[in-house]
Structure 1
Amino acid sequence: MSLVELIGRADDRSLAASAVACLDRCLPLLEYVDGADRLGLDTDLALRPLWSAVEGDDAWLGRLRRVAAVVERVAGHAPGELAGFARRMADAVPAAYTGPELRAWAEECSTAVLEVHLRLDGVTAAPDDGVRAKAYLHGETDGITPLTAGELRRQTELLDMLADDSGCGLSNALRLSNEGKRVLRAAASRRARSQS
């Protein structure tokens, strides 16, 4: 089943967790923005409280919007292209905790994080990157790069875990997302060293 089909079938809780996980994995990109530490964004802990009550309500959305506002401020000071993807996900935070809005946010975050991995895999920015990422969501993976393939697999596994009714789905999804965050942080670090 393609990732877009999984997103289409996911319940509100799974959609919210999937999107938060994508944004969380991209927070290390903000570690390369001058002055990010002064804006009070802990890239490891900023979104952690949202995982514990991902069913969502107005208070949950309020916490999410506060983090998103900090992400937008930090990314706004970024000279490079990658932090812009985190800002794009933050900009797309839904106004209401409803299925259609959460689904649109989850798909936007999924696409953005796949584009990030394309860049980190050494693919030069191109106008059709968004089209390529959306094709990956639909299961068209010809020519997909290794880092991007790993992220696509992680997103698919994460949604499968979130659909698990055993009660362990959320904690397993968090562990998988943290693994993806370590991969992305290492790739971003390698890219920064190669450009310095």
Structure 2
Amino acid sequence: MSLVELIARADERGLAAAGLACSDRCVTLLGGDDETLRPLWGTLMEDSDTARWGDLVAVVRDKLEGAAGDQDGGPGAAPEESAVAEAVALARRMLDTAPDRRTGAELREWADACSVAALRIHRLLDPAQDPEDVDARRAGRTEGMPPLAAAELRRQVTVLELLAEHGAQGLRRALEVSTEGRRVLRAAVSRRARTA
């Protein structure tokens, strides 16, 4: 099943986990660490804990406000700097657009937008070029996909499958997948900085 189909079929917990996992893998671009989004993951354990979601999102936004904001990426910037600056902006947008409530159509829109943004971030930071657009990749056309972006696509699919199959019991493994992805992205950013 394609990523687009998995998002379309996901329940509210699955959508929240999908959007949160994408944000969590990319939070390192904003100066976040393994614990930054952990309280939000905790709210997904209980259906009754949806009310705290909005408050915790606001706390995370405040904590990361202005972080990594010194990435210029302006007209005179080198291509590497521009790519990193764009990746930072996409990561920031994921958090800025997180819905205040963990329910409803806004949650599905956010999960979908986070999926696109996370894939774009990984494409920007992957040294290899991708001949296909992000929508084609999300729809299942994965042949010839660059390795960094391909791994991100697999992680997104895995998180949605875990939540679809196991519900709240799949959250621990989904968090592990996200943590692994965050470390891979952090390494990719470091490698890019060394070669710039």
Alpha-carbon contact 2:25-2:185 (below 8 Å) kept: yes
Q: Give the distance between the partners of 1:81 and 1:152, measured in 2 at CA.
A: 19
1:193: Cα distance to partner? 1.2
| d(CA) in 2 for partners of 1:149, 1:72 | 30
Change (3 A) 1:137 1:166: closer
- Residues 65, 93 of structure 1: 8 Å contact kept: no
| 1:194 equivalent in alignment to 2:184 | no
Q: Per the alignment, do residues 96 and 169 of structure 1 end up closer, same or farther by CA in structure 2, a change over 3 Å counting?
A: same
**In structure 2, what is the Cα distance between the partners aligned to 1:74 and 1:186?**
19
Q: Cα distance 1:52–1:78, how it changes in 2: closer, same or farther (>3 A)?
A: same
Distance 1:106 1:137 in 2: 13
* Pairing 1:66–2:59 present: yes
Consecutive unaligned residues of structure 2, counting only runs of 5 or more, are 73-84
Matched, 1:88 2:93: yes
| 1:117 lines up with 2:129 in the alignment | no
Q: Deviations over 1:10-59 (max 9, x none)?
A: 0101111111111111011124xxxxxxxxxx422110111111145232
Cα distance in 2 between the residues matched to 1:12 and 1:167: 11
Equivalent residue, structure 1, for 2:76: none
Do the aligned partners of 2:13 and 2:167 also contact (CA within 8 Å) in 1?
no
The residue correspondences of 1:10-159 to structure 2 (distance < 5 A) are: 10-31=10-31, 42-54=32-44, 55=47, 56-79=49-72, 80-122=85-127, 132-159=133-160
CA RMSD of aligned residues (A): 2.2
**Percent identity at matched positions?**
48
Unaligned runs of 5+ in 1: 32-41
C-alpha contact 2:17 2:159 (8 A) present in aligned 1: no
**Contact 1:71 1:90 survives alignment (8 Å):** no
Q: Partner letter of residue 176 of structure 1?
A: V
CA contact (8 A) 1:25 1:181 kept: yes
The 8 Å contact of residues 94 and 105 in structure 1, kept in 2 or not, is answered as: yes
Normalised by the length of structure 2, the TM-score is: 0.83
Q: Which amino acid aligns with 2:122?
A: H
SS of equivalent residue, structure 1 residue 81: helix
Runs of 4+ in 1 over 6 A off after TM superposition: none
Aligned residue for 1:96, secondary structure, equals coil
Match of 1:181 in 2: 182
**1:162 matches 2:163:** yes
Post-superposition offset of 1:167: 5.1
Amino acid at match of 2:87: L
Residues 120 and 51 of structure 1: is their aligned pair in 2 closer, same or farther, counting only changes over 3 Å?
A: same
Q: Which amino acid aligns with 1:62?
A: D
Give, in angstroms, the shift of residue 85 of structure 1: 1.3
SS in 1 for 2:142: coil
Counterpart CA distance in 1 for 2:135 and 2:61 is 23
